[in-house]
Amino acid sequence: MRRMSGPSGVGIGWRPEIAGFVADLPGLRFVEVVAEAVAPAGPLPDGLTELRARDVTVVPHGVRLSLGGAEPVDPARVAHLAAVATALDAPLVSEHIAFVRAGGLEAGHLLPLPRSREAVAAVVANVRRARAELPVPLALEPIAALFDWPDDELDEADFLTEILDATDALLLLDVANVHANARNRGGDPAALLDRLPLERIAYVHVAGGAEAGGFYHDTHTDPVPAAVLDLVRELCARRRPPALLLERDGHYPPAAELRGELDALAAASGYPVVT
């Protein structure tokens, strides 16, 4: 089997609930699938098999590795991610700069790390452990968080750059997370773009969210706000990433609305429409 090409153009997060919608997108070249939702030993979901037959790139996106955990990454979870990458013939996999469990408790969500040298070292060690077992490159995604640790030694740009410089990882930049963090934790999102190694971006995430309780929540269940699309334009003006992917994880809107979101992403980035 020939390896699929890297992510390109406008893509969408493949979810079983919208498999029919995704299958009907004529120009689609790239999707992402939650790695933990795929059983690599069994048959792949029909929708993914069809996309594979069309040479659509499928990138496994892990959410439970806990690369930022102080403890070594679980080898069984790495092996699973590696097997999913092989089963999907994926050109790369992605995961988060975050931890999801500690002290025997599952947080059930991606949690932020302190921006400290100790945390950089923990992530770097786990990325190296994972890379040793993965058949393809790994892209790292900085997360959205509502709070900061009290004793940051580095700012966001230096924290991310130190991790990327110490590993061979690519960057999965989530523009909605950049917006959310600036909104909730302060900072200028455009200034952050100026300081990130944009040439290492494998692809970009874009998602919707909503204001609630004085915070912007990166819900993935609401429309993409204008401010996030503005940030996509800011990013593309600096250096257009090879691909941009819309993440939607529930409250799926009518097909026309979802097509509108994909078209808006194409318009903001200048890539061809896929609908």
Partner 1 sequence: MSGDLAARQAELVATLVAGGPLPPGFAAAPVEAARRALRRKRAGDVARHWPLLAAGLGADWPAVFVDWAAGRPTNGSLRDGWDLARELRDRGTLPPLGADELAWREAANRYDGRGTPRRRRLPALARSGGAVVVQFAGRVRLLRPAPR
Distance CA 36, CA 197 (A): 29
Do 265 and 245 contact (CB within 8 A), yes or no? no
- Minimum gap (Å) between residue 85 Cβ and partner 1: 26
Residue 72 · residue 126 · CB < 8 Å = yes
Cβ nearer to partner 1, comparing 93 with 119: 119
Applying CB under 8 A, does 128 fall inside the site for partner 1? no
* Total binding residues toward partner 1, as defined by CB under 8 A: 38
Report the nearest approach of partner 1 to the CB of residue 267 (Å): 27
The yes or no reply on residue 119 touching partner 1 (CB under 8 A) is: yes
Stretch touching partner 1 by CB under 8 A, among 35-43, 100-108, 161-169, 197-205: 100-108
Q: Binding of partner 1 at residue 21 (CB under 8 A)?
A: no
- 30 in Cβ contact with 61 (< 8 Å): no
CA-CA distance, 169 to 148, in Å (whole number)? 24
Cβ atoms < 10 Å from Cβ of 91:
18
Bridge partners of residue 49, in order along the sequence: none
Residue with tokens 């490159």: 137
Are β-strands 215-217 and 210-212 bridged in parallel, bridged antiparallel, or unpaired?
antiparallel
User: Is residue 124 at the binding interface for partner 1, with CB under 8 A as the rule?
Assistant: no
We find the least distance from the C-beta atom of residue 27 to partner 1, in angstroms, to be 26
Which of 146, 273 has the CB closer to partner 1? Answer: 146
**E strand segments, 86-187:** 93-97, 99-102, 105-111, 138-142, 170-174
**Is 69 among the residues that bind partner 1 (CB under 8 A)?**
yes
Stretch that binds partner 1, among 54-62, 114-122, 125-133, 225-233 (CB under 8 A): 114-122
Verify binding: residue 99, partner 1, rule CB under 8 A: yes
Using CB under 8 A as the binding rule, whether residue 213 contacts partner 1 is answered as yes
* Identified binder of partner 1 from the candidate list 70, 125, 157, 227, rule CB under 8 A: 70
Binders of partner 1 among residues 166 to 195 (CB under 8 A) are: 184-185
Nearest to 66 by CA among 109, 2, 23, 35: 109
Distance CA(179)–CA(190), nearest Å, equals 9
Residues at the site binding partner 1, with contacts judged by CB under 8 A: 17, 69-71, 99, 101-109, 111, 114, 116, 118-119, 122, 145-151, 184-185, 213-215, 217, 219, 221, 250-252
